[in-house]
Amino acid sequence: MTHTRETVGFIGLGLMGHGMAKNLVDKGYALSIYARTASAATADLQQRGAVLCASAAELAAQASVVFLCVTGSRDVETLIRGPQGLKAGLQPGSVVVDCSTSDPTSTTALAAELAAVGVHLVDAPLSRTPKEAWAGTLDTMVGADLAVFKRIEPLLQTWAGRIVHVGATGTGHRMKLINNFVSLGYAALYAEALTLAQAVGITPAMFDAVIRNGRMDNLFYQTFMEYTLNGNREAHKFTLTNAFKDLRYLESMADDAGVSNPLGNAVKNSFGMAVKQGGPDTMVPMLPELVAGLSAVVLAPGTRPVE
């Protein structure tokens, strides 16, 4: 069955975006895609029926709703404002849905800029992992006018199992930064706790035996621990670089709000040090190994505690 009311464009076919776009086209929406370079994701989506466009402007001219799932605000701004960008092709009444984790200040500025040409900007950042993106069971927190939210909700339902309308445009990105502060704060806390445990003779397996299924257990902990316990690099695909970027956005948001955020700064610094140690493509669950290295503690998967 093909849905005729909305035509959809999608830009950002990475770990999350590929699965989201796959669900849109598989569930009956006419889909156009744009990517700077061809990839396995573009080939897969074309095989499913998506149309590959030569530019963002060409995609915008064909779509009533455009989804963006890119690294952050700088990419979003370029895709909208740049040469052959979305703004050159967007029609009045169309909607741009930014699923990236972006800077709320940029989001609200872009929303005003697009509103002047009759285009709606919605922020719908994501939670969970590429596994849920592929299954169509992501979480999303949405900032949008209520009428626009109701319009795009059926599209969101193709790839999200849990949808929360937080408020007006910008509130989705604000909530996402707060959400990531909580989750990445857990990561920094687990990393230091595992390092100290290893140093005093308590293995990660024993640490896990105490935490798992207790009051301190949660879904984030379970995927985060897959690397330390089992060497699994696939369970929690989120890079340290992206995490550090999100924590810098959080710092900026706190500064704008005049709010002291000392724990946020501490978590940001932990990730900043880890990025320099581990490199840009290192995943967040490897944080304990990198934090341990600062104290000459070995915490690679399969290691034994210090004697």
Q: Which residues are the active-site residues?
A: 176
The region that residue 164 occupies, defined by phi over 0 for left and psi between -120 and 50 for alpha, beta otherwise, is beta
Q: How many angstroms separate the CA atoms of 290 and 188, rounded?
A: 11
**What does the block give as tokens for 69?**
């799932």
Report the SS3 class of residue 254: helix
Distances (CA, A) of 67 to 29, 152, 264, 275, 296: 13, 11, 29, 29, 45
Q: What is the residue type of 35?
A: A
- The Cα diameter of the chain in Å comes to 68
User: Would strands 126-127 and 138-143 be described as parallel, antiparallel, or unpaired?
Assistant: antiparallel
- Do residues 120 and 148 make contact, with C-beta atoms less than 8 angstroms apart? yes
Chain-centroid distance, C-alpha 152 = 19
